[in-house]
Structures are given as structure tokens and as C-alpha cells.
Amino acid sequence: MVVSALRTEVTRRDAPASETADALVVFGITGDLARRMTIPALYRLTEQGLLGCSVIGVGRRPLPREELLRHATDAVHTAVRDVDEAVLGKLLERLDYIGGDAEDAPLYDRLRDALGQATMPVFYLATPPAMFLEVAEELAAAGLVGRGRLVVEKPFGTDLHSARELNRKLTEIFPEERLFRIDHFLGKEPVQDIMYLRFANALFEPLWHREHVESIQITLAEDFGVEGRGSFYEGVGAMRDVLQNHLLQVLALIAMEPPSGDHDAIPRRRADVFRAMPAADPANAVRGQYGGYREVEGVAPDSDTETFVAVRLEIESWRWAGVPVLVRAGKALPVTATEAVVRLQRVPQIQFGSHRLDCPGHDDIVLRIGRNAGVTIGLRAKTPGREVSQPVSLDLDFAEELGEPPQPYERLLADALRGDGTLFPRWEVIEETWRIVQPLIEHPPRLETYAPGTWGPKSADALAARYGGWREPRVEPG
């Protein structure tokens, strides 16, 4: 198979022991994110022998340690199919809990006592973004920063201005090299596989540029709405939730030049892609809201929040000049799937004697980065008994061929604990991605309504019409 080298092991220098965390503090450990992602990831790291420090959970309400242990046990049993009780026991032994308001100074006094002799703590904020700065300032006031690292979730800011202001204040407390911004898409194994697919297989690189590629498409589709999350989503919308972060990060891996040099090589190459991108033009964007969204609890009855966004972008580089980049994301669409499509140029019709070879349609290289992760390569073959071609495909399912991958938070927390920032977006990348989407925030396109179960507003189809239309993703199994 052409992608046999896809996950070839890369030799990499582990962080020196002096940079490995000796304590992990999880703010918001009783919240939904910690229950679904953080605690199961800590179990898997314990299983692999990668969690070598104590874990201190911080939450708003007073909580006996026994109740925290029950909470952690339930979270692990919900997320993990076959739980090793001995491994779970090792994790529970490491857990402790401190309760109190994040703005309460005595909370940080108790945290100092719990940290003991730890000199390299990691403070992970599984909290709403509005708390990032407040917690960081309280940590600094309590003298707990030291050589520690701060890990925060997305979104980092709500627009270009707020992101710059947040970054200015946070980096006064935690310097850039000790500020880790999570974008969990970069922790997905199939997303990392994009780079390996490109650079570990000689087949692809000669085709991966403007002379052979007609367009790039990225689709993030979800067949469900925002029920139960209306209050959160109402203040975010599709542009802030997935376009500015997840989907642009995927694009950078598709479009970047081969990395080389030191450990900063991949972040530098990702940043180069964004620097080459003009800001989005609202005239080349579509916003939609599915019918019924305004009836969801927590949503304003006259809400202007988009649940669908589609945009045509450009990369003004030698490799990609003139190649349109089409990105769309939405809720209440026909399927749940995440795919990136590199659409190759159509071949010309050829004639020889009385024979004519016509190849309608397009051949796509499809990178599936959702639950059914894999690669599909479109080809043309002769139809038996006829002198015409028909599309066929070479298909690889990553899990079937390569085994189940680690989960995103498992990888990202392990990297944060050892001080490896490769998979965490640097400030220069965050700033550029906000710059790209800022015109859509300042001058949002008119909001159009679409029916649940459809592919968004009809006007979104016009963005891709000249380039063969949107490719409909494969349905992901539940």
C-alpha cells in the first residue's frame, strides 16, 4: 500500500528530565470537559506509565476526596471499554482535591500546601476561557508560577483584539515557551497523519502543488444541533468554534512546506501558511442557521449566531497560488464527518483513431480525519467490455490497518507534562488565524436559514460550483 510508511516512527529528543512536570493541577476537574476527556486521558497515561506525578483537582464546590474518586471512577468506566482496575487504582492514588472559588486567595494558599516541594507544576485550565486570566493572576499573586506551565483551552480570545490583549497579559505571567494553548484537533492522530502521508510517501509530493491540484476542500459536518449547549454556543458560533482554530490548523498541515531543522520546524511551517493567506473576504463567505436553533434553551429568540459557515480562501505562496481553498462547517447537516479533500486537475480528453477517452469528474485524495479515519485515493480504470473509464478508489482505514490511535487529550497532556510544545499553536499562529477570520466577524455575511438535515444554505453550493462542487463525506459510524 502506498501509505505503508504513514506512521513510521520518528526519532525525537525527549524533554530533559528537568523539564518534566512534577505535579499536574487541573482546574475544573468536576466539569464536563474533565469528565469526558481529561480524566479518561489521565487513566490511559497511567496505563502507559506516562503519568509520573501527583494530580490535584480544583473545583468550585467543597468536595470530599472520596466523592472525587467516585467521580473519576465513573468518568473512566464511561469512557474506557475494558478498565484495568489496578491501573485505575494507581490513578486514584495520585488524585487529590481542593475546593473554592477561583478568585478566592485562600484557595491558592491551600494549593501551595498541596503542591509541597513541586517545582515544575503544570496548571491545566479545563474551565471557561473567561477564567484564564483570573486564574493566572491569582497563581502569580500566590507565588505559585515559578517554572510552571499554563495550559489553556480554545477559544483563545473572541476576536483579534481580545486575543492580543489576553496574550499580552498572560505572557507577562507565563512566557510564551511556558504557555500551552490546546487545539485538540492537533492532538488527533489522523490530523497528524496528514503530514506523514505527504512526506513519508514519494507518490504524493510531486502532485502536491498548483500545477496538479485544482482545489482544496475541508468539511466538518455534524448531524446534531446544539441541544444542551445553547448558552455556550450562542456566544461562540461556527466561525469561532471551529473555523478560526480546528479547520485552519488542518489546512496548515495540508499546505505547509516540508519541515526541517530544530523542534520549532513544524510550528514555523504552519505559521508560514497563515502568513501567506489574505484575510477572508465576506463576499466569498456564507453564514447559515438551522431552523429551530432559536427554540433551543439558552438561545436568544432573535439570535444572529451562525451554526454553519462556508468560505473560500487563498494561499498566496509559490506552491498554492491560484488554488482555491474551500472550507465549510455546520451543525444539523446530513452526516457527521470530517474530511479534507485535495482535488486533482482533470485530465484532458484524448483521441486515437476512432477511439476517444473521456474522463468526466474529478479524482480526489480524501483524508478522513473523523471517527472512520483513513485515506481514499480516487483513480480511473477501464470499464470492462467498453472503451470508457469509471472511477475506482484505493481505500485505507487507519484503525483496521494500523491499530487504534491514542486519543487527542492523551497525547496533548503527555506532551504538556514533558514540555513538548510541537502540537500546541504558538501565539504567532493564533494571531494570524484571527487576522484571517476577523473580516467575517466585523462584517458578517447575511444570515441564511437552512433546514436541518440539509447541507446548509443553497448559496454555499455556489462557492464550490466552479471547482466541481463540494464532495459529500462518507458517513461516520456512531
Instruction: Please report, for the domain that includes residue 255, its CATH number.
Output: 3.30.360.10
Is the pLDDT reported for residue 15 higher than 60?
A: no
Q: Examine residue 97 and state whether it is found in any structural domain, yes or no.
A: yes
Q: How many domains does the chain have?
A: 2
Is the pLDDT reported for residue 414 higher than 50?
A: yes
Is the pLDDT reported for residue 396 higher than 90?
A: no
**In what helix (H) or strand (E) does residue 96 lie, and over which residues does it extend?**
strand 95-99
**H helix and E strand count, the chain:** 16, 17
Look at residue 358 in the predicted model and tell me its pLDDT.
Answer: 64
Q: Which of 147, 165, 199 is the last residue of a domain?
A: 147
Is the pLDDT reported for residue 262 higher than 90?
A: no
Average pLDDT over residues 322-345: 95
198 and 130 in one domain?
A: no
Q: Beta strand 285-290 with 447-450: parallel, antiparallel or unpaired?
A: parallel
342 and 257 in one domain?
A: yes
The residue among 360 and 196 whose pLDDT is bigger is 196
Look at residue 12 in the predicted model and tell me its pLDDT.
Answer: 39
Q: Examine residue 10 and state whether it is found in any structural domain, yes or no.
A: no
407 and 318 in one domain?
A: yes
At residue 8 the predicted structure's pLDDT band, cuts being 50, 70 and 90, is: very low
Q: Which of 130, 147, 164 is the last residue of a domain?
A: 147
Q: Examine residue 181 and state whether it is found in any structural domain, yes or no.
A: no
206 and 101 in one domain?
A: no
Cell 475546593 maps to which residue?
Answer: 99
Q: Examine residue 392 and state whether it is found in any structural domain, yes or no.
A: yes
For 304-325, b where at least 16 C-beta lie within 10 A, e where not — what string? ebbbbbbbbbbbebebbeebbb
CA angle 388, 389, 391 (to 5 degrees): 150
Q: At what angle do helices 248-255 and 427-442 cross, to 10 degrees?
A: 120
226 and 129 in one domain?
A: no
Q: Examine residue 170 and state whether it is found in any structural domain, yes or no.
A: no
Look at residue 319 in the predicted model and tell me its pLDDT.
Answer: 96
269 and 122 in one domain?
A: no
Q: Are 297 and 188 in contact (CB under 8 A)?
A: no
* Distance of alpha carbon 110 from alpha carbon 27, whole angstroms: 14
Residue ranges making up the domain that contains 109: 22-147
194 and 87 in one domain?
A: no
Q: Which of 147, 173, 201 is the last residue of a domain?
A: 147
At residue 6 the predicted structure's pLDDT band, cuts being 50, 70 and 90, is: very low
CATH no. for residue 139? 3.40.50.720
Q: Examine residue 440 and state whether it is found in any structural domain, yes or no.
A: yes
CA angle 63, 124, 234 (to 5 degrees): 85
Answer whether the bond into residue 16 is a cis peptide, omega within 30°. no
426 and 296 in one domain?
A: yes
Is the pLDDT reported for residue 286 higher than 80?
A: yes
194 and 83 in one domain?
A: no
360 and 216 in one domain?
A: yes
Is the pLDDT reported for residue 241 higher than 70?
A: yes
212 and 141 in one domain?
A: no
117 and 225 in one domain?
A: no
Q: Which residues are catalytic?
A: 246
The residue among 326 and 468 whose pLDDT is bigger is 326
User: What is the separation, in whole angstroms, between the first and last Cα of the chain?
Assistant: 27
Beta-bridge partners for 365: 342, 377
Look at residue 122 in the predicted model and tell me its pLDDT.
Answer: 96
At residue 374 the predicted structure's pLDDT band, cuts being 50, 70 and 90, is: confident
- Other beta carbons less than 10 A from residue 385's beta carbon: 6
Q: Examine residue 141 and state whether it is found in any structural domain, yes or no.
A: yes
Provide the whole-model pTM.
0.89
**Residue 149: C-alpha distances to residues 101, 115, 179 (Å):** 21, 14, 6
Q: Are 371 and 352 in contact (CB under 8 A)?
A: no
Q: Examine residue 159 and state whether it is found in any structural domain, yes or no.
A: no
Look at residue 62 in the predicted model and tell me its pLDDT.
Answer: 86
